[in-house]
Amino acid sequence: MCPLSKQKVLHICRAEKFIPPFIDLIQTNFDSTLHEFVIFGDHKKYSSEGRFGVFRVENGVVGKTAAKARLIIQMHRADRIILHGLFTRVVTKMLFLMPWLLRKTYWVIWGNDLYSKRDSDFSSGLKNISRRFVIRNMGHLVTFVPGDIKLAREWYGARGKAHRCLMYTSNLFSESHTNQLDTGVVDIQVGNSADPSNNHLEIFEKLAKLPSNNFHVHVPLSYGDKKNAELIIEQGRKLFGGRFKPLVEFVPLDQYRQFLATIDIAIFNHNRQQGLGNLVSLLGMGKKVYLRRSISTVDLLDSLGIRWFDVEQIDLLPIPEHSKEANKRRVSETFSKPNLIAQLDDIFKE
């Protein structure tokens, strides 16, 4: 497919690990002169240096004031405003004060911006009122997980048009790291970050009670709550000793996928939709994946005919061969780069 969009698109982002690859995807497959990126946050950790059309909001009164003035002009000039997550208070405030911009604004739901802020959003206060107003009147909602759209409508009365899009390259399946050597030990991944929503300790307790101890526990902790990471490491070493393998250093995506290829079983005890990229890679590699039955991701996987397992019934048995091959085929067909480009083009040109 040849992208046809000729609309001017403004992307407003928080500096995160998957934003630089997303910028590269846009500039490689679309007309880069039509896309501008305004990025808030830590520019050193997730650098976007050297990329065309990228405006970084620097710290300091002068820098932030200039960035706000420029952003107002950019928002009015753009045909589409795409919010990559709804985290930046100043942007929410601008949209509240300039509601005519909402009809052309697309909220890419990341998960944490929908779930974790819900309780505070329903308390009193101007910032909570403004955020609820913005979500309710947002023109467009973007996610690949239909359940998140349903929750946005249920919790906030969101009325925007729904768009299904994979959005980021981290959500694509790569077939380049599917080989694995049999070590004779079951390698288990627990969670995808140090965020407390992973509920690691509940899974540690379940694993510690298994009749066999022929397994290693791998826990990615380079991303998320640092204090929680320290607690997880302390408890993990206490329960599993040398069989506990924390991953505390941030690694590039290609190297992380090599790690995922060594995993036999992955257990995600999240209480909300999270870690779609991890799920895609693991399921596409034919790994056995455990999830909570209550999260919205489950409905997505069921709709795609992808086999998953319930965290309430953990064992060390391998995934049945027929389920393994079916999962690999369905993930490869669905989570592909051509699909992502087509979905983005539909959003840009609508």
Decide if pLDDT at 6 tops 90: no
Q: Specify the pLDDT at position 41.
A: 80
* Tokens linked to 343: 């979905």
Backbone angles phi, psi at 81, to 5 degrees: -115, 120
Of the candidates 32, 18, 304, which has an alpha carbon nearest to the alpha carbon of residue 172?
Answer: 18
Burial of 170 (0-12, 13-18, 19+ CB in 10 A): buried
Q: Specify the pLDDT at position 250.
A: 83
Q: Specify the pLDDT at position 271.
A: 81
* Tokens linked to 225: 């709550």
Distance CA 13, CA 86 (A): 9
Cβ atoms 132, 96 nearer than 8 A: no
Q: What percent of the chain has pLDDT above 90?
A: 67
Output the pTM of the full model: 0.84
Instruction: Say which CATH class 175-334 falls into.
Output: alpha beta
Distance CA 216, CA 227 (A): 23
Q: Specify the pLDDT at position 87.
A: 86
Q: For helices 226-240 and 200-208, what crossing angle results, to 10°?
A: 0
Decide if pLDDT at 177 tops 70: no
Q: Specify the pLDDT at position 118.
A: 60
Q: 178 pLDDT band (50/70/90 cuts)?
A: low
Cα-based torsion angle of the residue sequence 226, 119, 114, 306 in order, rounded to the nearest 10 degrees: 80
Cβ atoms 260, 177 nearer than 8 A: yes
Q: Specify the pLDDT at position 117.
A: 56
Helix (H) or strand (E) holding 318: none
Backbone angles phi, psi at 268, to 5 degrees: -115, 110
Lowest-confidence pick of 17-26, 250-259, 264-273: 250-259
* Beta carbons within 10 angstroms of residue 190's beta carbon: 26
Lowest-confidence pick of 78-92, 175-189, 211-225, 266-280: 175-189
pLDDT digit string, tens, across residues 95-146: 999 999 999 999 999 988 887 656 555 555 666 888 999 999 999 999 999 8
Average pLDDT over the chain reads: 89
Distance CA 285, CA 216 (A): 19
- For the chain, where do the domains classified as CATH 3.40.50.2000 start and end? 9-171+338-349, 175-334
Decide if pLDDT at 194 tops 80: yes
pLDDT digit string, tens, across residues 27-83: 999 999 999 999 998 767 766 776 888 998 887 788 788 889 999 999 999 999 999
Of the candidates 334, 338, 337, 314, which has an alpha carbon nearest to the alpha carbon of residue 326?
Answer: 334
Distance CA 101, CA 67 (A): 18
Q: What percent of the chain has pLDDT above 70?
A: 91
Helix (H) or strand (E) holding 95: helix 89-97
Instruction: Say which CATH class 9-171+338-349 falls into.
Output: alpha beta
Q: 88 pLDDT band (50/70/90 cuts)?
A: confident
What is the pLDDT averaged over residues 171-180? Answer: 72
Q: Specify the pLDDT at position 308.
A: 96
The residues, ordered by sequence, that sit 6+ positions from 281 with a Cβ below 8 Å of its Cβ are 173, 174, 257, 260
* Beta carbons within 10 angstroms of residue 338's beta carbon: 9
Q: 291 pLDDT band (50/70/90 cuts)?
A: very high
Distance CA 56, CA 15 (A): 9
What is the pLDDT averaged over residues 318-335? Answer: 95
**CA atoms within a 13 Å half-sphere pointing along the CA-CB vector of 350:** 17
For tokens 């949209």, name the residue: 95
| Angle, CA of 191, 289 and 226, to the nearest 5° | 5
Decide if pLDDT at 231 tops 80: yes
